[in-house]
């Protein structure tokens, strides 16, 4: 089973930020990625819709005998992680707790901001995770619904990105936070723009790095690290435009060529 792939699911292209960290930290592991770009964004949807879509993606990847599942979407993590973790016989990781732990490590003032989708912010999942580690922390959550469509369209650099980011995160300006959690896996693609807005004065936390580190520890502890001498074999699936997904994936992952297939999820659920 150690040579089986790791499955990663996301509402769109955002989870590629986790894929990039997985490839860097676990270069021998094969990855199967599924982005539900046709139904992205998940943030404005109901909990029941998000739960249904997350299960459909999970069932799709189960066909490939994955040895671990990473729910890279913060919204899906907040809604469905516990249920899926209890139902699957393999390790299932989310991105919220790793991100919270990383923020607590670097914050000096215990004033932490979180930006995410409306559902993620409304769930208070990050606030619960942060306060479970350190009760005295002050959390400022802010929904930024315009950022996911911006990234999905490939517009994460340039004047439009700067304008939309500034308008979205302006309410955090007077909060005196010293750390900001990018509570959506799409947002790291906008990290340079966000850092520029705050003039480099706060720490920016992307959960991808911590999630990959946690995956590495779990695979090592359970003796499931890939010991094969063969190179990794990655596969990418999307429910939307293959061309757009491929362009963004190649640019972000810095790969000359990747193969993208269409996934049909409509018949897959609990």
Q: Which domains does the chain have, with CATH numbers?
A: 6-94+209-262 (3.40.50.1860), 96-206 (3.40.50.1860)
73 is catalytic: yes
Per-residue CA distances from 248 to 60, 73, 122 (Å): 22, 17, 29
40 is catalytic: no
> 202-236 burial, b if ≥16 CB within 10 A, otherwise e?
bbbbbbbbbbbbbbeeebeeeebbbeeeeebebbb
Catalytic residue among 125, 177, 184, 268: 184
State residue 270's pLDDT score. 47
Per-residue CA distances from 100 to 44, 110, 185, 233, 258 (Å): 23, 12, 14, 31, 32
Quick check: helix, strand or coil at residue 144?
coil
Beta bridge partners of 260: 236
The set of long-range contacts for 61-65, using a CB threshold of 8 Å and a minimum separation of 24, is 61/7, 61/9, 61/32, 61/34, 62/7, 62/88, 64/5, 64/7, 64/32, 64/235, 65/1, 65/4, 65/5
Q: Of all helices (H) and strands (E), which one includes residue 7?
A: strand 6-10
State residue 268's pLDDT score. 55
Catalytic residue among 73, 84, 129, 181: 73
Half-sphere exposure of 23 (CA within 13 A, CB side): 18
Count the residues in the chain: 270
Q: Of all helices (H) and strands (E), which one includes residue 117?
A: none
Per-residue pLDDT of the chain (270 residues; tens, 9 = 90+): 789 999 999 999 989 989 999 999 999 999 999 999 999 889 889 999 999 999 999 999 999 999 999 999 989 999 999 999 999 999 999 999 999 999 999 999 999 999 998 999 999 999 999 999 999 999 999 999 999 999 888 888 899 999 999 999 999 988 999 999 999 888 988 999 999 999 989 999 988 888 999 999 999 999 999 987 787 999 999 999 999 999 999 988 988 889 999 999 876 554
CB 18 within 8 A of CB 185: yes
* Chain centroid to CA 127: 17
């Amino acid at each position: 089973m150690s040579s089986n792939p790791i499955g990663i699911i996301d509402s769109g292209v955002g989870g590629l930020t986790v894929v990039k960290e997985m490839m860097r930290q676990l270069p021998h592991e094969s990855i199967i990625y599924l982005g539900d770009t046709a139904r992205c964004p998940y943030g404005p949807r109901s909990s029941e819709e998000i739960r249904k879509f997350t299960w459909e993606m999970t069932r799709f990847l189960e066909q490939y005998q994955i040895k671990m599942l990473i729910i890279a979407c913060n919204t899906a993590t907040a809604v469905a992680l516990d249920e899926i973790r209890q139902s699957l016989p393999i390790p299932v990781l989310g991105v919220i707790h790793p991100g919270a732990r990383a923020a607590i490590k670097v914050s000096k003032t215990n004033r932490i901001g979180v930006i995410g989708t409306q559902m993620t912010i409304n769930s208070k999942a990050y606030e619960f995770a942060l306060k479970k580690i350190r009760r005295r922390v002050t959390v400022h959550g802010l929904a930024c619904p315009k950022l996911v469509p911006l990234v999905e369209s490939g517009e994460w650099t340039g004047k439009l990105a700067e304008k939309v980011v500034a308008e979205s995160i302006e309410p955090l300006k007077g909060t005196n936070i010293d750390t900001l959690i990018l509570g959506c896996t799409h947002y790291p693609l906008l990290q340079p723009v966000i850092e520029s807005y705050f003039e480099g004065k706060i720490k920016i936390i992307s959960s991808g790095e911590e999630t990959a580190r946690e995956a590495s520890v779990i695979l090592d502890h359970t003796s499931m690290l890939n010991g094969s001498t063969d190179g990794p074999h990655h596969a990418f699936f999307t429910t939307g435009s293959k061309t757009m997904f491929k362009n963004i994936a190649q640019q972000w992952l810095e790969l000359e060529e990747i193969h993208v297939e269409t996934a049909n999820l409509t018949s897959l659920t609990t």
